[in-house]
Homo-oligomer: A and B are copies of this chain.
Amino acid sequence: MQLRNKDILGIKDLDRDEIELILDTAESLKWVSNRDIKKVPTLRGKTIINLFFEASTRTRTSFEIAGKRMSADVINISASSSSAVKGETLIDTAKNLQAMSPDIIVVRHGSSGAPQIISGAVKASVINAGDGCHEHPSQSLLDLLTIRQVKGQIEGLRIAIIGDIKHSRVARSNIYALTKMGAQVVVAGFPTLLPPEIEKMGASIRKTLDEAIIDADVIMMLRIQKERMTGPYFPTEREYSMLFGLNAKRLKSAKSDVTIMHPGPVNRGVEISPEVADGPYSVILEQVANGVAIRMALLYLLSGRKHEESRKEARDENNN
């Protein structure tokens, strides 16, 4: 089985079979990062461009490591050094990069829809690595992989997403993904940070953090994204934390086998307390590790490779 589209622009475009294909492939390829020699020749001779209009150490590094562990050539372009400052349009930038024959372009951009615009202008596959307040599909897929590893399955689970839903592309991608996989999603957050369309996406709204987490199998805390806020959405960080920050005391009302997730970087003491972030329920670092595996799977599948071969390729001694 292969992916239907040439791009990964959002979870909205993927069906459940495709999501499971990506998760299964990631599980095969994850093995590569656990070995002494973390390299397979799978994508040798492929050119991957990381085109980042917004800075992001974590996501860029994750894609770069994923590409290099499969022997691809990875080229990093950051917006500050880009033609953008010389007045070139986004489509011109995309067409110019296409003329250099890349196989995959990974795009992060502050404006929703930018990866789609680029996709329309190029023959290469485009992966959306986060666009404005729209989608961040690889983050959502790594969240699914983490949930599946911890809970065994995703179907039937109840997931609470807490915090700044409005500015969170992670929340948006996860609501699409989790409902497609048969989970129930509830959200809670400051009223100013809960856009009305959220219920149309399949999530139900609860008024308080306590009501949202009481029957949750998984709690996803969102990062307060000050860098994306254009005005005051809540009085103070302290007040935000008192109402929607997760700490050990509050966690007592949750299920005894609850799993705590956070897409990072964590604002310690604001949306989540250090003892919860570092505590026994937290899988925050497993999420990061799964991020490399998911990105390897996306690069692998978009290069036309078949999942059926991934397990063999990852383990084949002769590949080294």
Chain A residues with a Cβ under 8 A of chain B: 33-39, 44-47, 49, 55-58, 60-62, 64-65, 68-69, 73, 75, 77-78, 80-83, 85-89, 92-93, 95-101, 103, 227, 264-268, 285-286, 288-289, 291-292, 320
List B contacts of A267 (CB < 8 A).
87
- Contact of A86 with B289 in the complex, beta carbons under 8 Å: no
Among B37, B44, B83, B289, contact of A57 (Cβ-Cβ < 8 Å): B83
- Contact of B57 with A92 in the complex, beta carbons under 8 Å: no
Q: Output the residue of A38, A56, A82, A89 with the most chain B CB within 10 A.
A: A38
List B contacts of A64 (CB < 8 A).
75
- Contact of B35 with A100 in the complex, beta carbons under 8 Å: no
- Contact of A89 with B268 in the complex, beta carbons under 8 Å: yes
* CB nearest to A289 among chain B residues: B99
> How far apart are the CA atoms of A89 and B291 in the complex, in Å?
20
* CB nearest to A288 among chain B residues: B99
Tell me whether A265 and B99 are in contact in the complex, defined as CB-CB below 8 angstroms, given that A45-B38, A64-B75, A81-B78 are known contacts.
Answer: no
Q: Copies of this chain, how many?
A: 3
List B contacts of A47 (CB < 8 A).
38, 65, 68-69
Among B39, B77, B93, B291, contact of A73 (Cβ-Cβ < 8 Å): B39
List B contacts of A62 (CB < 8 A).
100
- Contact of B55 with A289 in the complex, beta carbons under 8 Å: no
- Contact of B264 with A33 in the complex, beta carbons under 8 Å: no
Q: Shortest distance in angstroms between A205's beta carbon and chain B's nearest beta carbon? A: 27
* CB nearest to A51 among chain B residues: B57
Q: Output the residue of A39, A45, A62, A286 with the most chain B CB within 10 A.
A: A45
> How far apart are the CA atoms of A140 and B239 in the complex, in Å?
51
- Contact of B39 with A35 in the complex, beta carbons under 8 Å: no
Among B61, B101, B291, contact of A75 (Cβ-Cβ < 8 Å): B61
Q: Shortest distance in angstroms between A72's beta carbon and chain B's nearest beta carbon? A: 10
Among B37, B93, B99, B268, contact of A44 (Cβ-Cβ < 8 Å): B37
> How far apart are the CA atoms of A103 and B85 in the complex, in Å?
31
- Contact of B265 with A87 in the complex, beta carbons under 8 Å: yes
> How far apart are the CA atoms of A81 and B33 in the complex, in Å?
25
* CB nearest to A303 among chain B residues: B36
List B contacts of A265 (CB < 8 A).
83, 86-88, 92-93, 96
- Contact of A264 with B96 in the complex, beta carbons under 8 Å: yes
- Contact of B65 with A100 in the complex, beta carbons under 8 Å: yes
Q: Shortest distance in angstroms between A117's beta carbon and chain B's nearest beta carbon? A: 15
Tell me whether A39 and B34 are in contact in the complex, defined as CB-CB below 8 angstroms, given that A55-B81, A265-B88 are known contacts.
Answer: no
> How far apart are the CA atoms of A73 and B67 in the complex, in Å?
10
Among B44, B73, B80, B92, contact of A65 (Cβ-Cβ < 8 Å): B73
> How far apart are the CA atoms of A96 and B78 in the complex, in Å?
21
- Contact of B83 with A58 in the complex, beta carbons under 8 Å: yes
Among B75, B92, B97, contact of A266 (Cβ-Cβ < 8 Å): B92
- Contact of A100 with B61 in the complex, beta carbons under 8 Å: yes
> How far apart are the CA atoms of A303 and B178 in the complex, in Å?
41
A-B contact pairs, 9 of them (CB 8 A): A33-B100, A34-B101, A35-B45, A38-B101, A39-B44, A47-B65, A56-B81, A57-B82, A57-B93
